[in-house]
Structures are given as C-alpha cells and as structure tokens.
Amino acid sequence: MQRIIIVDSPADWPLDLPDVQVVSGKEYLTTEPFRKQRDIRVFNMCRSYKYQTIGYYVSLLAEARGHKPIPSVSTMQDMKSQAIVKLAADEIDELIQKSLADVKSEEFVLSVYFGKNLAKKYDRLSAQLYRMFHTPFVRAHFHREAGKWQLRKVGPIAAKDIPEAHHGEVVEFAKEYFKGRRTEQAKKPDIRYSIAILMNPQEAMPPSNETAIKRFIKAAEKLHMEAEIIGKDDYSRLGEFDALFIRETTAVNHHTFRFARRAAAEGLVVIDDPESILRCGNKVYLNELLEKNQIPAPRTLVVHRDNTDEIFDKVGLPCVLKQPDSSFSQGVSKADDEVSLKRELAQLFEKSDLLIAQEFLPTEFDWRVGVFDRKPIYLCKYFMAKKDWKVISKDKAGRTLNGRSETIPIELAPKKLISLALKAANLIGDGLYGLDIKQIGSNFCVIEINDNPNIDHGYEDLIRKDDLFLGIMEVFLQRITAAKEGRSYQ
C-alpha cells in the first residue's frame, strides 16, 4: 500500500522520510492519478482542519476515494467538540493526573508525534491521546484547576511548527510507526473485507464466550472475510476495517459507544450501531417507546423523587425497580413492601434522578428472542436462578448464580411471541437485539429490548450451531458490499 503525506506546501516539509511520498493538498484534490488510484493510505498533515479548508477537503475526499485518511473527518470533528474532548479526558483521567503530577506550572502543552513524545515519561499519555484523536501530529493543552489537571483542547500540529531540535526524533518515531502498520501487510488475495470484533477478555459476563468468538472468526473466513479481535486501546485502528462488531457490554458513557460512534462516522458497518446503544441503553426511553406504540408490557412508571407515592396505585407491590441503564440484572431490585421500597429507592436515587418501577410478574422463565436484520435468529427460555426471581443473581458470598437455559427451534415458538418480538425490535432498528418477553397464560409482554445480546457457544447456538454464526457474518458481508457499492442495504 502506497503511503502519501499531504501538506500545504511540500517545500515547507521539514522531515526526510524514506518510502513516503509528500504532495500538496491541491495536487491531491485536483490531479487525475489520485482520483483513480485505490491502494493509498493518506496522512493528512495540512496546517488546518477547519471546515472547508484544504485540510478538511483532503480527508473528506480521501474517504470518498476509499483512501482511509488519518485523521478522518470524524476525528477532526471530535477534536473541535468540547463534549468529546471531555469524554476522552474523563476516560483517561487517572493517567492524566499521574503523568502530570510533577509539572509545576498551571499550564502544560504535550506534543504527540505518531503516539509518542520526546520525553519517555509521557509515552503512555501520548499513546492514549493518539488512540483517541487519531492524527499524525497532535498538541494537547492542559490546565490545572483546584489542583487537578483538565484537558482543555486538542488540535493538530503543522509540520512547519515542529521545532527543529525535534526533527531527528520525529523522523525516528515516523519510521517506527510506518514499520509496524498493519496496513502495510499484504492482504490475502481471497480476503474481501475485514471486520473488527471489539471485546474485553477480562469482562466478567461478556455477551459472547471465547468459543463463540472463535466461531464468528471461522464463519467470517468461510465468507472470505478477515475478523480480528481488538480492544479498547485500538480506537485509532478503526479506519483499517470495513466493519465493527461489538462483543463487549455496551453503555452510552463507555468506550463501546465511542467506538460505535466513530466507526459509523467513518462509514463502517457497525453492530451495535450508536443509535441502538442509545435507545436500548435507557429504560426510560424504552418505556416511552413501547407505550407510544402500544406494545404489551408490564405496568410501568417513570419514578422521580416527587412521585414515589404513585408507585402504590399505578404499579403496586411487590414491584421491580430498575436504573435506566441497568443490564445483566445489575441495578435491578425488588420491593416487597413499603419498608423495602423506601430502602431500595434511596439506594437507586443515589445513582440516577429517574428510575423505572415495573409491575412484578413472577414467572418460571423469560423468553429471549434474538433478532438480527429484522429476523428471528434464536429462541431461548432463560429460567430464574435457584431460589430467586431473576435470571442472574448473587449468593451471600457475592458469587454469580445463573438460571439454566433451554434453546428451542424458532419454528416451534408461539406465533404471537415471534410477532411481538419483531414488532418491538423493529422500533429500534435493524441491528442485533435480544427481546426479553414474559408469558402470562396465552399472552405475552415485553420486559426489555437489549442491544448486544448474548450469543454464547453451548447456549444460544444449540439449535442452529455454526449456522447461527455464519448467518450473522453473511449479513455483515451483504451490508459491507452494499456500502462499498454506494447503495442502501435492503
């Protein structure tokens, strides 16, 4: 793959890098060879990325040409957004405070060249900033407030602004960077597309176990695609892939959402997409959505500190109380009487201003309908944990207890169940969802719509086996192909 560095004026480029072509932004934008060439990696080092500048258009047209620029337009927008900068800073706050602890002044500027700084003690912080704001040369401005360092802004460094004393080391950083790039490796001739699978090996209850991840990778290979496991530190690598498959528990205030947002902005096929994470990740939103669309659900009340008395009349006791962003039965409790209701409300209000109170419907199991691409893909019964009212519980020692599960052929499911699951899932989108549904007699009601549902080997795949993983990868292939051909999917 050819590497080209785009600058405002090649005459002003101060670094001597082997095997790297340096061209002007105007030449890249207007000459025919660059329009037609496909196997190019663009490093945009123009002095400004502001809207409608040469630097902005270089990355914009590079994306259109399939050149996967660094930085992407979405990265440019991230650097200008105070909200994104703050979110990134919060994620690495401990590292910021530790790295800058010995700085005596109230202001500090860190120059990052391909993820490194000339002072090795800032290497970890530099690497994290580069992963978050994937730009060749980045300058981060910090300010100390009340004894704590805050990241104020992030922006590019123009090549001509690199101090001459830094040139030698910056060249070495660049050589090391280019030497280790995955993009320089030749793709296997039969590989069509690449998929990044985001997961966390240390996660206690991941949505897919290790064997399931291996089955996904194997299924991708059968379709002549390459699937690679990535982690939270691989944010800067998203541009190398054609799709992102998140197999880590998602949340809006979490790196998984940032990954989904960036991947979608860069034109990747994304499961779970950021809209699905937003919609499924908040039970207040889901309650409104289900109620508005007349989807059968337990009696539910959005609770705040001033309407707790309404729980008795509108929901009744016992009731289930939930944090808006609860998952895997965490942040979920049951109030059996007025005393326990007050106790549980007090604890939950410490974490959220709004809660969900839901009618308690005791059942032996919950139906789980897996839906992807607006079609049912698996059906399970998740039984309650032993001597408990939840599927996942904890004993007195803090150990996790899971109820057993039973996988059932979809064709044997009650038609009303599948119909309700699809109707509810379609309100969210065409992504991958897990519908928790209770059956009361011959009637069904939706408890939750989950993005990022469990797909574990030995459980959800017991009926379809490898076909379950292959079917999901086939949808990725169809969506990637449609995106590459510039047409809408379905």
Is residue 83 within 8 Å of residue 108, measured between CB atoms?
no
- CATH for 268: 3.40.50.20
Tell whether 110 is covered by a domain: yes
Same domain? For 102 and 213 the reply is no
Interior/surface letters 323-354, b for 16+ CB within 10 angstroms, e for the rest: bbbbbbbebbbbbeeeebbeebbeebbeebee
Fill in the DSSP letter of residue 242: S
The CATH number of whichever domain residue 309 belongs to comes to 3.30.1490.20
Mean pLDDT of 276-294: 90
Residues 217 and 179 in one domain: no
In a domain, 290, yes or no: no
Q: How far apart are CA 467 and CA 473, in angstroms?
A: 10
Radius of gyration of the chain (CA): 26
At 96 the pLDDT is 96
Residue 19 lies in a domain: yes
Instruction: State whether residue 251 is helix, strand or coil.
Output: coil
Residue 32 has pLDDT above 90, yes or no: no
215 and 351 share a domain?
no
Residues 229 and 306 in one domain: no
For residue 329, what pLDDT is reported? 55
The yes-or-no verdict on residue 357 having pLDDT over 60 is yes
- Specify burial of residue 120 (Cβ count, 10 A radius: 0-12, 13-18, 19+): exposed
Question: pTM of the entire structure?
Answer: 0.73
Place of tokens 């329009």: 35
- pLDDT of 194 reads 94
**Backbone φ, ψ for residue 35 (5° rounding):** -70, -35
Q: Which of 151, 186, 221 is the last residue of a domain?
A: 186
The stretch 90-107 carries a mean pLDDT of: 93
Place of tokens 């008795």: 312
Asked if residue 192 belongs to a domain, the reply is: yes
DSSP class per residue in 100-152: TTT--SSEEEEEEETTB-SSGGGHHHHHHHHHHS--SEEEEEEEEETTEEEEE
**Residue 36, token pair as written in the block:** 């037609």
DSSP symbol at 490: -
Q: What's the rounded mean pLDDT across residues 164-193?
A: 74
Band of the pLDDT at 13, cuts 50, 70, 90? confident
pLDDT digits (tens, 9 = 90+) for 396-451: 676 777 889 999 999 999 999 999 999 999 999 999 999 999 999 999 999 999 99
Q: For residue 65, what pLDDT band results from cuts at 50, 70 and 90?
A: confident
CA gap 290, 128 in Å, rounded: 40
Averaged over 349-371, what is the pLDDT? Answer: 92
- Stretch 336-353: mean pLDDT, rounded? 91
How big, in percent rounded to 5, are the helix, strand and coil portions of the chain?
40, 25, 35
Flag whether pLDDT at 178 surpasses 80.
no
- Secondary element (H or E) of residue 426: helix 415-426
pLDDT band at 254 (very low <50, low <70, confident <90, very high): confident
- Report the candidate in 422, 406, 19, 354 with the shortest Cα–Cα distance to residue 184: 19
54-72 mean pLDDT:
87
Domain that holds residue 355: 299-359
185 — pLDDT class (breaks 50, 70, 90): very low
Determine, yes or no, domain membership for 88. yes
Of 375, 197, 191, which Cα lies nearest the Cα of 271? 197
pLDDT digits (tens, 9 = 90+) for 232-250: 888 878 888 999 999 999 9
State whether 96 and 109 are in the same domain: yes
Q: With pLDDT > 90 as the criterion, what percentage of the chain qualifies?
A: 59
CA atoms of 69 and 236, how far apart (whole Å): 12
Give the mean pLDDT of 245-260. Answer: 91
Q: Are residues 62 and 148 in the same domain?
A: yes
Q: Whole-angstrom Cα distance, residue 129 to residue 135?
A: 9
Residues 248 and 149 both lie in one domain: no
Task: For residue 177, give both structure tokens.
Answer: 């960077």
Cβ pair 278, 217 in contact under 8 A: no
At residue 189 the predicted structure's pLDDT band, cuts being 50, 70 and 90, is low
Return the bridge partners of 71, or none: none
Q: What is the model's pLDDT at position 247? A: 98
The reported pLDDT for the residue numbered 442 is 93
Q: Tokens 């960036």 identify what position? A: 262
The CA-based angle 121-127-129, given to 5 degrees, is 110
The answer to whether the beta carbons of residues 187 and 434 sit under 8 Å apart is: no
Same domain, 113 and 26: yes
* Integer CA distances (angstroms), 273 to 52, 182, 396, 487, in order: 28, 25, 37, 18
Q: Check pLDDT > 50 for residue 100.
A: yes
**Strands of 124-265, DSSP E:** 137-145, 148-156, 193-198, 225-230, 243-246
Has residue 35 got a pLDDT over 60?
Answer: yes
DSSP state, residue 70: B
Residue 183: the pLDDT is 43
* Statement: residue 89 has pLDDT above 60: yes
- Is 83 or 140 the better-scoring residue by pLDDT? 140
Nearest-angstrom CA–CA distance, 422 and 374: 7
Highest mean pLDDT among 298-312, 342-356, 457-471: 457-471
Alpha helices, DSSP H only, in 302-394?
310-314, 338-349
Domain presence at residue 265: yes
Q: For residue 267, what pLDDT is reported?
A: 85
> How many domains does one find in the chain?
4
Instruction: Note whether 18 and 148 are same-domain residues.
Output: yes
**Do 388 and 324 reside in the same domain of the chain?**
no
3-state secondary structure 261-317: HHHHHCCCEEECCHHHHHHHCCHHHHHHHHHHCCCCCCCEEEECCCCCCHHHHHCCC
Q: Higher confidence at residue 394 or residue 130?
A: 130
Q: What is the pLDDT of residue 31?
A: 87
Per DSSP, which regions of 386-431 are E strands?
A: 392-394, 400-402, 405-407
Helix (H, G, I), strand (E, B) or coil at 475: helix
Mean pLDDT value across residues 160-168: 88
Last residue of a domain, one of 359, 381, 401: 359
> Is residue 361 predicted with pLDDT exceeding 90?
yes
What tokens appear for 45 in the block? 């080092």
Examine residue 262 and state whether it is found in any structural domain, yes or no.
yes
With beta carbons less than 8 A apart as the criterion, state whether 8 and 54 touch. yes
Looking at 186, 217, 252, the residue that finishes a domain is 186
Closest C-alpha among 233, 239, 132 to residue 182 = 239
- Asked if 240 contacts 183 with a C-beta cutoff of 8 angstroms, the reply is yes
Phi, psi dihedral angles at 129 (to 5 degrees): -65, -40
In a domain, 98, yes or no: yes
Quick one: 143 and 194 in the same domain? no
The C-alpha atoms of residue 192 and residue 380 are separated, in whole angstroms, by: 34
pLDDT computed for residue 425 by the predictor: 97
Q: What is the mean pLDDT of the chain?
A: 89
* Per-residue pLDDT, 330: 64
Lowest-confidence range among 192-206, 328-342, 403-417? 328-342
The model's confidence at residue 186, banded by pLDDT at 50, 70 and 90, is very low
Q: Note whether 85 and 201 are same-domain residues.
A: no
